[in-house]
């Protein structure tokens, strides 16, 4: 009788481990592009990510780089003042998007150009995403202390 109880416990433990592994695997596969990494332009220039990887790039829209193409096509460069990365986007830009303003773009780096699927701009005059503030400070760029970073 004791051997049967011990065997049943072992079976339950094994099933629990298999269920946890399966749920982790399902989460990992389902998350897909939801697990996006943030990179600064210097990091992208230094080590280009593979074209299939979706990530976020942030910095400032380089002055004089904003070019509006045909229809809703826009190209510009994102910089952290150390390096800059060309960005192409097709769609409607946020109202507060502009040159020398903070921006975070989501997309993929393909053939030397970041192809953005989403563009986020600051929502008021003092806001700048925490990742962008940290990346700019890391590059030695002065960030206004009144530009409070976002809190998560």
Are 47 and 122 members of one domain? yes
pLDDT band at 152 (very low <50, low <70, confident <90, very high): very low
Closest CA to 86 of 107, 55, 101, 65: 65
CA angle 124/130/131 to nearest 5° reads: 120
Mean of pLDDT values over 45-72: 86
Mean pLDDT, the chain, integer? 81
Are 15 and 42 members of one domain? no
Q: Which two tokens stand for residue 123?
A: 């929502």
Contact 22, 16 (CB under 8 A): no
As a whole-number percent, the residues of the chain with pLDDT over 90 amount to 23
Are 132 and 77 members of one domain? yes
CATH number at residue 48: 2.40.50.140
* Claim: this prediction has a pTM higher than 0.85: no
Alpha-carbon distance of 82 to 127, in angstroms, equals: 22
Are 42 and 25 members of one domain? no
pLDDT by residue (tens digit) across 99-140? 888 888 999 999 999 999 998 876 555 556 677 777 777 776
Q: Which two tokens stand for residue 102?
A: 């903070």
Residue 53 lies in a domain: yes
Q: Which domain holds residue 6?
A: 2-32
Q: How many structural domains does the chain have?
A: 2
pLDDT at 87: 93
Are 9 and 58 members of one domain? no
pLDDT by residue (tens digit) across 13-37? 999 999 999 999 888 777 765 666 7
């Amino acid at each position: 009788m004791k051997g049967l109880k011990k065997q049943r416990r072992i079976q339950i433990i094994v099933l629990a481990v298999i269920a946890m592994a399966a749920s982790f695997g399902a989460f990992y596969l389902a998350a897909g592009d939801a697990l996006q990494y943030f990179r600064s332009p210097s990091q992208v220039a230094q080590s280009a990510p593979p074209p299939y990887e979706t990530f976020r790039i942030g910095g400032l829209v380089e002055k004089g780089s904003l070019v509006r193409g045909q229809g809703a096509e826009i190209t510009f460069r994102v910089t952290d003042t150390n390096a800059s990365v060309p960005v192409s986007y097709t769609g409607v830009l946020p109202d507060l998007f502009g040159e020398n303003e903070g921006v975070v773009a989501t997309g993929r780096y393909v053939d030397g150009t970041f192809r953005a699927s989403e563009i986020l701009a600051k929502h008021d005059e003092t806001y700048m995403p925490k990742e962008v503030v940290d990346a700019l400070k890391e590059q030695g760029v002065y960030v206004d202390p009144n530009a409070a970073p976002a809190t998560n």
